[in-house]
Amino acid sequence: MPGYIGQSGTEDKNAALQSENNIFTCKKNDEFIIDIEDLGTDGEGIGKIQGYTLFVKDALTGDKVRVKIMKAKKKYAYAKLLEIIEPSEWRTEPACPVAKQCGGCQLQHCSYEKQLEWKRKKIQDCLNRIGGFTDIQTEPVIGMDIPYYYRNKAQFPVGYDKDGNIVTGFYAGRTHSIIPFKNCLVQHPCSSAILETVTKYMEENKVSAYNETNHKGIVRHILIRTAQATGEVMVCLIINADKLPYADKLVKMLLECSLSQKSGNINGINNNFNENSFIKSICININKENTNVILGNSIEVLYGTPYITDYIGEVVYHISPLSFYQVNYGQTVRLYEKVMEFADLKGDEVVWDLYCGIGTISLFLAQKAAKVCGVEIVPQAVDDARENAILNNMENTEFFNGAAEEIVPLQYEKSGGKLKADIVTLDPPRKGCDEKLLNTVVNMEPARIVYVSCDPATLARDLKYLCNKGYEVGKVQPYDMFGQSCHIETVVLIQRKDT
């Protein structure tokens, strides 16, 4: 039973545990001992006192903790972790020395096995609570073989420390102060050698780092992208200028830097990345706006191609600095194979791939379908999708630019209600699908819908809608695409009942 232990450990009559009408109240600086029962969407620990909820950053399910109230609201409060009285069996020592300060990973202090267990439970809770499903079981989350070094894209901010040295690293959680760090444990291991080389180039050639406050200085961010299947690496400097001074020197230094020197083993964690990484593209991206948006629109190639090339299965993709591309290669391959399995294509089907991005799922399915139509709201992504279709000689694809909830109903109307689909794939952003879209999808009478979701709550809501319209859930298979973070990705097979 959680207990009030007073302000800074002393009795305090005002902060009564129970008021007369049994409503719990507390105020800033009150201290309590509580049991953490769950994790919130941002990985914060959740504990309760008589139905009143406390959110405690860095606390884990199963911990008994002493906390101090920082901000109290009517039904909940944010509290600071003061002491772990009894640690949870979920706890583990974070592998990264700056895990706590950095805004990137939220769950490094939780064992990987328990991260996966928590993600599965989160999905199941949403299906039960929001979807009202009582008979659907979420499959165990398919995790990564090694839950580190998995990201194929990083954007490192560049700035100065208090002594005026150039630093690269990551922003501390919810701030814009840079935590200097070159060995990020979730990025591709070649990043550290690249960051060291760019920093050295800047120091030797007196190229300044950008200063957000006065909008002066040149180098804002360093973007690194890697292609796992080919080993190709792209380095792109985002600059607040039209030209990068001594660009030839940067190119020379980058081409000389050994990318594999840091591969193999960092902080005792082995990585299984392509040891043959090599730089295929060096470019600059010009962003002179006074904005938090990282990338500008114009790109100049300093060396090599304006893109790197990757494969998912047999399908080839060109990835430019601005392209959207799945961040975790190994898990993406597994997830797309599951989408293919759920779609169960025989070769004569018409597929609609909604929220298609650069057409990665569309092209993957086009290998086995008669026709795939993709719909995507971002025009550049649609351009990429069309180019990738040409690159792969996939003439059985067509891409539409616009909001899925507008394009699909419009196409349906235009056809006089004759537009049909055999399979529909849905991969919406966190807010899920619009009802107008789901309604049209139902009218198109696909035998199967494959829903790829990054938010279990909106997934549960949308599944409920589809199940009220003649569909049933076949299988719920989560994948861990972002180890050490709170993100949850789920693939669901939804079947029409009368097929």
Output 38 or 406, the one with its CB closest to ligand SAH: 406
CA-CA-CA-CA torsion sign (263, 267, 268, 273)? negative
Cβ 349 vs Cβ 369: under 8 Å? yes
What is the three-class DSSP state of 170? strand
- As measured in angstroms, the least distance from the Cβ of 350 to ligand SAH is 18
Output 130 or 454, the one with its CB closest to ligand SAH: 454
Measure Cα distances from 31 to 22, 86, 368 in Å.
19, 16, 61
Q: Which amino acid is at 72?
A: A
Measure Cα distances from 256 to 193, 259, 309, 336, 458 in Å.
11, 9, 21, 36, 48
Of the candidates 211, 157, 210, the one whose C-alpha atom is nearest the C-alpha of residue 184 is: 157
Measure Cα distances from 266 to 99, 101, 148, 250 in Å.
15, 20, 10, 26
Catalytic residues: 454
Q: Locate tokens 């591309």: which residue?
A: 325
Task: Give me the residues that bind ligand SAH (CB under 6 A), please.
Answer: 324, 326, 355-357, 360-361, 375-378, 381, 403-405, 427, 429
- As measured in angstroms, the least distance from the Cβ of 424 to ligand SAH is 13
Measure Cα distances from 43 to 50, 95, 105, 119, 207 in Å.
22, 17, 9, 11, 39
- As measured in angstroms, the least distance from the Cβ of 403 to ligand SAH is 4
DSSP structural state of residue 180 = E
Q: Locate tokens 């507390």: which residue?
A: 26
Nearest residue relative to ligand SAH (C-beta):
357
- As measured in angstroms, the least distance from the Cβ of 359 to ligand SAH is 8
Q: Which amino acid is at 250?
A: L
Interatomic CA distance for residues 77 and 70, integer angstroms: 7
What is the three-class DSSP state of 423? strand
